[in-house]
Amino acid sequence: MVAILYLISALLFIFALRGLSHPESSRMGNIFGVVGMIIAVFTTLMFKSVLSYYEIGAAILIGGAIGSFIALRIEMTALPQLVAAFHSLVGLAAVFVAAAAFYDPVAFSIGKVGSIKTASLVEMSIGTFIGAITFSGSVLAFGKLQGTISGKPIVFKFQHIINALIFFLIVFLIVLFVINQSPTIFWTIVIVSILLGFLVVIPIGGADMPVVVSMLNSYSGWAACGIGFTLSNNLLIITGALVGASGAILSYIMSKGMNRSIINVVLGGFGGEQDTSASKDNSDKIVKQGNAEDAAYIMKNADSVIIVPGYGMAVAQAQHALREMGDILKKEGIDVRYAIHPVAGRMPGHMNVLLAEANVPYEEVLELDEINHDFPMTEVSFVIGANDVTNPAAKTDESSPIFGMPILDVEKSQSVLFVKRSMATGYSGVDNELFYRDNTTMLFGDAKKMCEDIVKSLSA
Amino acid sequence: MEAHSSEVFVIGLTVFFLACIIGYYVVWSVTPALHSPLMGVTNAISSVIIVGAILAAGPQGFDTSKIFGLIGVVLASINIFGGFLVTYRMLSMFKKKTKRTKEKE
């Protein structure tokens, strides 16, 4: 009976993911997920060995209240941090469950204290290891995203060798743990794994955060899998595998969006200021500058506009003003669409959520593959808060650190409007030659204020 | 139930690989626009680890294992409620905008 209920729960989780294939079916998918979780929890509460309903109920209420409070209050711009924080909790929970299984193996029917089955010990320590890495890695990613820790990659000598040595140390500790089942070694594994988690994320720069967040997503799944094997629980194994696969695919998509291999991202170091190769002196080149009225005039007289938003737009909270601008243009009969680069924003799909929050209909928001061939037929590209993802150097300049990255071909449209705070480079630290082209007009200023001013000029 | 004979492990492994394959196809079918909600949902469901935490917290009395279990339940619950709710919030923004609702700000 238990196995059947767990199976139903696992199937509901699969449907939950399946629902996300389209916005219209996605809400039902989320409900499937909730129902699946309720079934899983109540099935477990029905176990004969589970007696302390009050304590467990209280724990669920406390956790639920905290989780709900955070989830309802969080700003959508802070979504990546939130997700990173949540991942760290999954990792930590995995460590606690593994520890509980170690201290009370009877409750999980995996043996007795001091004589736990070897296979269980191996699985337990692997679950602990991945859980602890997920925990500390996510905490650090959270800090970097939140800005409490510098987003710059921290690189030092022999970094990878040290990481490799620590990894082998953990393998050695696990072997030792399986042999003597000592609590001291168990906690040593936890601590060393936590250390390794920090060291793995520390060299990864701010630009690579979308990959890191997805990667940690994947880890949290594998951690659940490890615990699932320890408890011989198929529900945990299935769910863990689903989450692990999901995170892995997202990491793959994100690194492809930056034309970097996952290995390359993991080894880190990208996004600093060490790029001397590309820092050609552009100080003598002329930049055409414009103001809100110019932009309004240019767009009003166009018949097609593609808006390219980047993370800078989100930081300036400009999405509502931007949508208002888009609405006015649409009322004038102008074809307005939005182009989203895979790595726009700081986690997969982040920009889509931000635009949806500002009430931009999702039909107008297109992915790179869907819209890139339309740029040559477009009169105006309105780039706001994005930079690297439009840089033609990615296609032409082999020495550029972003060479090979797929970009949005805004340079092929008749004219380009660039909303930027200053001439500063993007995350990659690379200068954008697009700024100096004849058909480019730079609109310097705060993204939100600029959109509001354009709206004023348009309505005037 | 004789858990952890090699047979049990092989069954677990079978389930694991089949689930990975299902995961692979299901996730590729997710539209890129919904990748953020995907992370929200996976985050919530990976907290199914609460099952293990409940088992640990189940027995009466108070020992180390039970305390760990209860902490696990709290942590997993934060994620479950937080993950599903934040996903719900995201998805409700992706409704078809036939008539534009007046939103704040």
In terms of average pLDDT, the best of A143-152, A252-261, A309-318, B24-33 is B24-33
Rounded mean pLDDT of A221-245? 94
Q: How far is CA A200 from CA A48, A85, A93, A183, A204, in A?
A: 42, 17, 20, 26, 8
CA distance A371 to A459: 28
Spatial contact of A94 and A224, defined as CB atoms under 8 Å apart: yes
Determine the Cα–Cα distance for residues A458 and A436; give it in Å rounded to an integer.
26
Torsions phi, psi of A197, nearest 5?
-55, -45
A388 is catalytic: yes
How far lies A305's CA from each of A63, A115, A290, in Å?
47, 69, 17
Q: Are strands A440-444 and A289-290 parallel, antiparallel or unpaired?
A: parallel
Q: How confident is the model at residue B102 (pLDDT cuts 50, 70, 90)?
A: very low
Average pLDDT for chain A:
88
Q: Which candidate, A384, A300, A297, A402, places its Cα nearest to that of A344?
A: A384
Distance CA A93, CA B50 (A): 8
Q: What is the ipTM of this complex?
A: 0.90
Whether A175 has a pLDDT exceeding 80, the answer reads yes
Q: Do A228 and B95 touch (CB under 8 A)?
A: no
Residues 40-59 of A with CB under 8 A from B: 40-41, 44-45, 47, 49-52, 55-56, 59
User: Averaged over A74-86, what is the pLDDT?
Assistant: 92
Q: Of A208, A388, A431, A453, which is the active-site residue? A: A388
Chain B nearest-CA distance from A387, in A, is 21
Q: How far is B95 from chain A (nearest CA, A)?
A: 7
Structure tokens at A222: 């594998």
- Place B28 in a pLDDT band, splitting at 50, 70 and 90: very high
A279 pLDDT exceeds 60? Answer: no
Confidence bin at A55 (pLDDT 50/70/90): very high
- For residue B7, give how far its alpha carbon lies from the nearest alpha carbon of chain A (Å): 11
Q: How many angstroms separate the CA atoms of A327 and A33, rounded?
A: 35
Neighbours of A246 (CB within 10 A): 30
Residues 6+ away with beta carbon under 8 Å from B27 = A17, A242, A245, A246, A249, A250, B38
Nearest Cβ partner of B23 from A59, A232, A242? A242
- Say yes or no to pLDDT of A114 above 90: no
Type and span of the H or E element at A306: strand A304-309
Alpha-carbon gap, residue A415 to A301, rounded angstroms = 12
Q: Which residues on chain A are in Cβ contact (under 8 Å) with B88? A: 27, 30
Average pLDDT for A404-409: 87
Q: Would the CB atoms of A82 and B82 count as touching at under 8 Å?
A: yes
